[in-house]
């Protein structure tokens, strides 16, 4: 999973190997990967897997949960980045453009999983939604700090632009060539956000 696999470990080495393998396989080949293939790549037995997880669905959900913090850390600017809110938002789309240009890019891993599952109440879908909600919340906070007329609407528009841009890159089999960044910029300008207001300690967080 491009820039999304956490280096942090939790629990047993067997569990970590399973989650690392799951993150890579499910992202590259889809959620249809079977338990045997997963265990083979992870180098663990099926018995060991079922001692840790009650199903493949549980492994899928846990792998997304584990990878989400690193994925968001890659996308979002650090807290001590004192650029204007507009520039902090555009940082996310610069990262997206960077990811989409890579040959191994398969779109947002959280969008990809939910699109395949087609089940909003699936444990993995719930994890994916929480991750997306965090991204939208970031957009909303920065929109508020930047004086957007309707921060909630802008945040949802930016999230749709992010997700839709990733899908387009996969469908076209090529990078975005600035399209996502240009679209986000147009939304920010239309919402009244400029790059003149610095991000102050009172408005950060």
- Domain-embedded: residue 202: no
How many CB atoms are closer than 10 A to CB 106?
A: 18
Flag whether 159 is in a domain.
Answer: yes
The encoded tokens of residue 201 equal 């300690």
Residue 138 corresponds to which tokens in the numbers above? Answer: 């970031």
Per the structure, how many domains does the chain have?
A: 1
Q: Which two tokens stand for residue 137?
A: 């919340």
Handedness of CA 26, 28, 33, 39 (dihedral sign): negative
* Residue 80 belongs to a domain: yes
pLDDT in tens, 169-194: 999 999 999 999 999 999 999 999 97
pLDDT over threshold 90, residue 7: no
User: Residue-wise over 54-74: b if at least 16 C-beta within 10 A, else e?
Assistant: eebeebbbbbbbbbbebbeee
Range of the domain at 165: 13-190
**pLDDT tier at 12 (50, 70, 90 boundaries)?**
confident
**114 within domain boundaries:** yes
pLDDT in the model for residue 195? 67
Q: What is the pLDDT of residues 124-165, one digit of tens each?
A: 999 999 999 999 999 999 999 999 999 999 999 999 999 999
Q: For residue 51, what is the domain's CATH number?
A: 1.10.357.10
Indicate whether 11 pLDDT > 90: no
Average pLDDT, the chain: 90
pLDDT reading at 4 higher than 90: no
Does the residue 201 lie in any domain?
Answer: no
* 204 inside domain: no
Question: Helices 56-75 and 35-42, interaxial angle, to 10°?
Answer: 60
Report how far apart, in Å, the C-alpha atoms of 143 and of each of 106, 130, 188, 204 are.
29, 20, 8, 11
Label residue 196 by pLDDT band (50, 70, 90). Answer: low
Residue 97, domain member (yes or no) = yes
Query: In sequence order, what are the residues at sequence separation of 6 or more whose Cβ sits closer than 8 angstroms to the Cβ of residue 51?
Result: none
Tens-place pLDDT, residues 69-118:
999 999 999 999 999 999 999 999 999 999 999 999 999 999 999 999 99
Sequence-ordered list of residues with C-beta below 8 angstroms from that of 56, at least 6 positions apart, any chain? 34, 35, 38
- Record the tokens describing residue 84, joined without a space: 């204007």
Residue 199 lies in a domain: no
């Amino acid at each position: 999973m491009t820039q999304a696999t956490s280096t942090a470990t939790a629990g047993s080495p067997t569990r970590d190997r399973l989650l690392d393998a799951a993150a890579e396989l499910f992202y590259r080949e889809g959620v249809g990967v079977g338990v045997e293939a997963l265990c083979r790549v992870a180098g663990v037995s099926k018995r060991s897997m079922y001692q840790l997880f009650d199903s493949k669905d549980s492994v899928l959900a846990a792998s997304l949960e584990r990878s989400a913090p690193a994925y968001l850390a890659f996308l979002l600017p650090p807290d001590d980045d004192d650029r204007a809110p507009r520039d902090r938002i555009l940082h996310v789309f610069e990262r997206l453009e960077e990811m989409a240009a890579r040959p191994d890019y398969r779109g947002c891993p959280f969008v990809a999983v939910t699109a395949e599952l087609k089940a909003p109440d699936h444990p993995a879908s719930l994890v994916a939604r929480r991750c997306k909600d965090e991204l939208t919340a970031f957009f909303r906070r920065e929109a508020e700090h930047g004086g957007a007329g309707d921060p909630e609407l802008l945040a949802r528009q930016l999230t749709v632009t992010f997700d839709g841009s990733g899908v387009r890159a996969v469908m076209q089999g090529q990078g975005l060539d600035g399209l996502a960044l240009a679209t986000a910029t147009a939304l920010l300008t239309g919402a009244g956000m400029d790059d003149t207001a610095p991000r102050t300690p009172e408005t950060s967080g």
